[in-house]
Amino acid sequence: MKHAQPSDLAYVPFVSVDNMMKLVHHIGIEQVLSELSGYIEDDFRRWQLFDKVARVASHSTEGVIELMPTSDGEVYGFKYVNGHPANMKKGLQTVTAFGLLADVASGYPVLLSEMTILTALRTAATSAMAAKHLAPAGATTLAMIGNGAQSEFQALAMKTICGITDLRLYDVDSAATAKCRANLEGFGMTLTTCKTPQEAIQGAQIITTCTADKQYATILTDNMIGAGVHINAIGGDCPGKTELHRDILLRSDIFVEYPPQTRVEGEIQQLEADHPVTEMWQVVNGEAAGRTSAAQITLFDGVGFATEDFSALRYVYDQLEGGNFHQYLDMVADPDDPRDLFGMVQRAKG
């Protein structure tokens, strides 16, 4: 990531929703997912450089609003994000977000970006990065349980990064499955619509659960999960929201991003506070084992962590040079004399 020069810092590049979509189409969505996954994996490799803190959350009965900050010592980043499951009934997104990068040396912001689309991309890229390390070798079939706004991104990331060729779809809302299937036609996967979760997971080596309801749910029961599969449980992302029966967790080797956050928000909130888990950065760096046997059940309890958003913003920033996928915002006051902010305001009277 190249730093802006001091003379440029008063004008901050802003990536709007429209420009984010144009950037994705310019590069190609599968290439974006692949490259973004590489950025995320690179930052997991330098995990110990980052400031790490569980997200700052404001919970309500309707949902949650969160700030997710981190820094690698040179660049600071944060994301604002919400999660409101009932929004869908109002015709609104359940998750919206924006993010910012800043230069640690000056404190000046260097990028402001939409992150509703970018969060969907980084979540899928992270899931596929984890599955690359944890799924059975030669996995070809993904069961996608929950066919909402995240599902197509998840499927394409698994195809691009893990080689998935067959996709089995299930959602309690058949219209969501029809939407997902229609969107994925032409991307080179065999698509199967399923009537139950049990049907969806038949023959699947990778199972992804991504549902929206804020409740202790049991999307998968213990008797549904056989030996040798990899599970990406990414729907549970706040206290009181889970998708898997507790007994599945007890049979699985569990991998997480940042334990202090996941123990509050993830599937493992169902378990004792000292239940053993492995951090994904250790697997990526070869400091801990991932999949060790064909019969092993691996579970990535993904709740989303600030470093992944940092990686995503860093990726977007690196794509902007020489392109037309951003505009500049006059965000930072820039008086000729840094001590004379009042004078600058007065001179603006005209």
User: Catalytic residue numbers?
Assistant: 237
Residue 57, CB half-sphere, CA atoms under 13 Å: how many? 19
Query: In the numeric block, which tokens belong to residue 11?
Result: 């004008």
**Helix, strand, coil % in the chain, rounded to nearest 5:** 40, 25, 40
Nearest Cα residue to 218 out of 202, 233, 228: 233
Tell me the longest C-alpha to C-alpha distance in the chain: 75
Query: Strand ranges (DSSP E) for 26-63?
Result: 56-59
Query: To which H or E segment does residue 33 belong?
Result: helix 29-45
Angstrom distance (rounded) from CA 216 to CA 128: 25
- DSSP letter, residue 268: G
Angstrom distance (rounded) from CA 152 to CA 183: 7
Contact 265, 256 (CB under 8 A): no
Helix (H, G, I), strand (E, B) or coil at 219: strand
Nearest Cα residue to 240 out of 161, 303, 297, 329: 303
- DSSP letter, residue 322: T
Angstrom distance (rounded) from CA 51 to CA 71: 5
Bridge-based pairing of strands 216-220 and 242-244 is: parallel
Phi-psi region of 181 (alpha: psi -120 to 50; beta: other; left: phi over 0): alpha
